[in-house]
Amino acid sequence: MTVSRAGRIWALIAVQAARRGGDVSAADACAAAVAAVSVTGGWLAAAGDGDAVHLIWIADVVSDQLAELQLTLGEGPSLDVSASGGPVLASDLGTTEAAHRWPAFTPAACQAGAGAIFAFPLRIGAIRAGVLGMYRTQPGPLSTSQLGDALVFADTATLLLLDAPGQAVGGPGAEAGPGGQPADLALHRAEIDQATGMLTEQLGTGIADAFIRLRAYAYVNDLRLTDVARDIVARRLRLYPDPGPSQDGES
Partner 1 sequence: MDGQLLSETFVELTDTMVDDFDVIDFLHVLTDRSVVLLDVSAAGLLLADPRGELRVVAASSEAARLLELFQLQNDQGPCLDCFRTGQPVTAADLDAGAHRWPRFAAAARQAGFAAVQALPMRLRDQVIGALNLFRATPGAFDPANVRIGQALADVATISLLHERSMRQSDTLNEQLQTALNSRVIIEQAKGKLAERLGIDMTQAFSLLRGAARDRNLRLADLAQAFIDGTEPLTGDAAARAPQRPGGQLRPAPRRGSRRRP
Q: Does 241 bind partner 1 (CB under 8 A)?
A: no
Q: Does 121 bind partner 1 (CB under 8 A)?
A: yes
Least distance between partner 1 and beta carbon 204 (Å): 11
Q: Does 207 bind partner 1 (CB under 8 A)?
A: yes
Q: Among 29, 32, 53, 88, which residue sits at the site for partner 1 (rule: CB under 8 A)?
A: 88
CA–CA separation, 52 and 63 (whole Å):
19
Q: Does 147 bind partner 1 (CB under 8 A)?
A: yes
| Nearest Cα to Cα of residue 35 among 14, 11, 5, 12 | 12
Beta-carbon neighbour count of residue 105 at 10 Å?
A: 25
Write the interaction track for partner 1 spanning residues 37-66; mark x where CB under 8 A is met and - where it is not.
------------------------------
Q: Among 67, 90, 109, 212, which residue sits at the site for partner 1 (rule: CB under 8 A)?
A: 90
| Nearest Cα to Cα of residue 132 among 117, 144, 121, 146 | 121
Of 58 and 76, nearer to partner 1 (C-beta) is 76
Q: Does 89 bind partner 1 (CB under 8 A)?
A: yes
| Nearest Cα to Cα of residue 196 among 207, 181, 185, 182 | 207
CA–CA separation, 187 and 178 (whole Å):
11
Q: Does 167 bind partner 1 (CB under 8 A)?
A: no
Local structure of 85: helix, strand or coil: coil
Least distance between partner 1 and beta carbon 22 (Å): 27
The site that binds partner 1 (CB under 8 A) totals a number of residues, namely 42
Q: Among 91, 167, 205, 221, which residue sits at the site for partner 1 (rule: CB under 8 A)?
A: 91
Local structure of 87: helix, strand or coil: coil
Which residues have a Cβ under 8 Å from the Cβ of 32 and sit 6 or more positions away? 9, 12, 13, 15, 16, 153
Of 88 and 218, nearer to partner 1 (C-beta) is 88
Q: Among 48, 107, 125, 180, which residue sits at the site for partner 1 (rule: CB under 8 A)?
A: 125
- Could you give the C-alpha distances from 147 to 39, 143, 186, 246, 249, in angstroms and in order? 11, 6, 20, 38, 42
Positions touching partner 1 (CB under 8 A) are 1-2, 5, 84-91, 97, 121, 123-127, 141, 144, 147-148, 151-152, 155, 184, 188-191, 193-202, 207, 233
